[in-house]
Amino acid sequence: MEENRKVSAGFRKGLRSELHAWQADGLITPEQSEAISCRYALADMSKESVGALMFAIYLIGAALIACGVVSLVAWHWNEIPAMVKVVLLVGATLACHIGGFWLWKVRATRPLLGHGLVALGTLIFGASIGLLAQTFNIHSNFYNGMAAWAIGALVMAYVVGSIPNAIIAIVTSFIYWVGWMDDNPDTLCLYPFLAAAGFLPLAFLLRSRWVVVPTLLAVGISVVSLAGTEIGLLAAGLAAVGIGGLYYAWGIQSTRRDLDYITSPARFFGNLCLAIIAFLLAFREIAYDVPRSLRHLSDHWLWLVPTAPALLAAIAMCIFAAIRPRGRRTPMSPAVLPAALLLLAGLGSTFIIYRDLPSQGTGHYSGHIILIVSANLALLALAAGMIASGVTGISRLDFWAGVVLVASLIVSRFFEYKTGLLGKAAAFLACGVGLIIGGVAFENYLRRRRLVHA
Amino acid sequence: MRRITLWFILAVLVQLAILAVLPARKVYALMTGTRVFLKVAPVDPYSIMSGHYMSLSYDVSRPGDGRRRGTASPQNTPLLQSWEDLKDNKKVYVILQAGPSGLWEAQAVHTSRPKNLAPGEVPIRGRKTRRGIKYGLETFYFPEAVRERINDDLRSHPNDASVEVKVDAFGNATLVRLMIQDRVYE
């Protein structure tokens, strides 16, 4: 049974140190200790950490060599004929790939070194693309080269199951998208869909948080940015609520520990996405600008391409998570749904009130106050939810994240609105003292819980 | 042979195919193209990825600019005066012909590949952009060692820079060398 793949390294480390203490205290027999040790492969931990260290060394070495190759290409060594240069780099790419594959998969004598060499092969493949542009004076936008690099790295990542290749593919594809969007701001872009279709199955295949995190970031950032390019913050806000809701609902739809590599980052980024958009929209100046973006709404439809699927997918995922039996889904934070609904209500009301804005000219408007209030309430709800889940789930991280959110909300509002210095002083003092009292109370609560359990 | 080995060979072939496809048009133009000389107006940015290069623009990047006062009739020079009205990213074919100085000049602009060209006329394919017509000839890479010399040459002879280009039968073009007065850079 591969239980060691289903739990975190931290859990296994703690368990290994506790096992000795439990055995010494007579809580478990040596046989039971051995059985637990076997179940979680605790004996292999030293080997695994040495392996991880060696792999990191090989990868850093590969990255340094790749930097050297890129610099060499950039130096444009002119004594060597163009074709020889091409043959040299293509040969180096092939040598790294074939040698790496041999050591990793065929002979399997030095798998870590072999894997590092395959990653180096893909890095040199990227350098070769730059060299070809240089040798043949290919005039093309740099991001097209990044797209070619991403395709090569992605194929290799799928075939050999390589996390470094997957990361190269995600990063280069994201750079491609940034460059492309800068040059084609008003053009249909399918990058978020292609990124999700290309990288999410890879993340499942490799069962790696290192692949999940950049994938969630690439998809989320591209969806929100594309939505916001055309009609500004209103669409970006809707898309962010969609992506935040989708990620969060995805993160809570399962309690399986072997899916923690994907559900845990999804929950985190879902919360983060909602918190960022609520924080931004809570500012008076930003909220005031939201209706302006609706002036030319009838001329635009591209913002719907990322926004509508994000919202629909979020709704579908929420329904899926809601109908799962209680024991098979992670309990939902009581604040996330109200926060998302508050944001949607604020943005939706702004849309309804101002959708005819072009006909109203450029006069002053005040309907954005609904958006400001709903965003502030959403932020407060998220913070309260984090603090509550920190207390009930005994998680210091959640608790302090919620506290920081409340503090940032209060500080932002006080700097934003002109109030008397006495009022500011009183508010800061009250918040500071309240924060310390709350922190002490929480620590005391943690201590009591530990005492009770002991 | 194990299945993973076959897949691995396929993945390596995909990478090699990408490397082969990228310069394919340029190589074909180099091997089969007609030699054309164009007058340039260069600038000199720096690229971390590909070393030193110049961004070039040409007289033919804005066809018609030098001919507005000329005698060519609109019937013989379709779109020469009105190509700027085309949509951005629109594919165009610019007809080139050697001028008296040996440098080639734009005679006409077409939105499809022209047939029945007169002897000495060469169609070159480009795309209309906000900054003129781009032919894929706008970047010239050079070794780090000659950077200062190119800069000095350009400062000394700003109006004497030209490039040799090869244009294939499909209108694809590739840059062969840069010439500044009597000095050649490849």
Q: What is the DSSP letter of B58?
A: E
pLDDT at A101: 92
pLDDT band at A97 (very low <50, low <70, confident <90, very high): very high
Q: Does B43 touch chain A (CB under 8 A)?
A: no
**In this predicted model, which residue has the larger pLDDT, A404 or A174?**
A174
Give A132's contacts in chain B (Cβ within 8 Å).
19, 22-23
pLDDT band at A16 (very low <50, low <70, confident <90, very high): confident
C-alpha B179/C-alpha B167 separation (Å) is 18
pLDDT at A76: 61
Q: What is the DSSP letter of B77?
A: S
Low-confidence ranges of chain B (pLDDT < 50): 44-45, 47-48, 66-76
The CA angle A97-A103-A106, to the nearest 5 degrees, is: 95
* Out of A163-167, A293-297, A342-346, least confident range: A293-297
Q: What is the mean pLDDT of residues A425-448?
A: 78
pLDDT at B11: 92
Nearest CA to B134 out of B66, B62, B82, B67 is that of B62
**In this predicted model, which residue has the larger pLDDT, B168 or A7?**
B168
Q: What is the mean pLDDT of residues A217-243?
A: 86
* Out of A398-402, A449-453, B158-162, B174-178, least confident range: A449-453
The nearest alpha carbon in chain A to B14 belongs to A152
Give A75's contacts in chain B (Cβ within 8 Å).
51, 143-144
Give B145's contacts in chain A (Cβ within 8 Å).
78
Which B positions 135-154 lie with beta carbon below 8 A of chain A? 135-146
Q: Does A159 touch chain B (CB under 8 A)?
A: yes
SS (H, E, C) chain A: CCHHHCCCHHHHHHHHHHHHHHHHCCCCCHHHHHHHHHHCCHHHHHHHHHHHHHHHHHHHHHHHHHHHHHHHHHHCCCCCCHHHHHHHHHHHHHHHHHHHHHHHHHCCCCHHHHHHHHHHHHHHHHHHHHHHHHHCCCCCCHHHHHHHHHHHHHHHHHHHCCHHHHHHHHHHHHHHHHHHHHHCCCCCCCHHHHHHHHHHHHHHHHCCHHHHHHHHHHHHHHHHHHHHHHHCHHHHHHHHHHHHHHHHHHHHCCCCHHHHHHHHHHHHHHHHHHHHHHHHHCCHHHHHHCHHHHCCHHHCCCCHHHHHHHHHHHHHHHHHHHHCCHHHCCCCCCCHHHHHHHHHHHHHHHHHHHCCHHHHCCCCCCCHHHHHHHHHHHHHHHHHHHHHHHHHCCCHHHHHHHHHHHHHHHHHHHHHCCCCHHHHHHHHHHHHHHHHHHHHHHHHHHHHHHHHHC
Give A68's contacts in chain B (Cβ within 8 Å).
none
C-alpha B127/C-alpha B114 separation (Å) is 15
pLDDT at B66: 44
What count of other Cβ atoms lies within 10 Å of the Cβ of residue B36? 21
Q: What percent of chain A has pLDDT over 90?
A: 20
Q: Kindly report whether the global pTM for this prediction surpasses the value 0.80.
A: no
Token pair listed for B121: 């006329």
State chain A's mean pLDDT as an integer: 82
pLDDT band at A18 (very low <50, low <70, confident <90, very high): confident
pLDDT at A125: 92
**In this predicted model, which residue has the larger pLDDT, A291 or A454?**
A291
Q: What is the mean pLDDT of residues A5-32?
A: 79
The backbone region for A46, taken as left when phi is positive above 0, alpha when psi lies in -120 to 50, beta otherwise, is: alpha
**What ipTM was reported for this prediction?**
0.73
CB contact under 8 A, B50 and A137: no
Instruction: Let me know: does A40 contact A4? Beta carbons within 8 Å.
Output: yes
* pLDDT digits 0-9 by tens, A300-326: 778 888 888 988 998 898 888 888 887
CB contact under 8 A, B50 and A133: yes
The nearest alpha carbon in chain B to A153 belongs to B15
C-alpha B165/C-alpha B177 separation (Å) is 7
Averaging pLDDT over each range in A10-14, A149-153, A238-242, which range is the top one? A149-153
Q: What percent of chain A has pLDDT over 70?
A: 89
**In this predicted model, which residue has the larger pLDDT, A412 or A5?**
A412
* pLDDT digits 0-9 by tens, A32-58: 888 888 888 887 777 777 777 777 888
pLDDT at A77: 63
pLDDT at B135: 85
* CB nearest B8 (choices: A76, A90, A160): A160
pLDDT at B150: 78
Instruction: Examine the pLDDT at A360 and tell me if it is beyond 80.
Output: no
Place of tokens 């040798």: A135
Nearest CA to A370 out of A385, A352, A356 is that of A352
Q: Which amino acid is at A441?
A: A
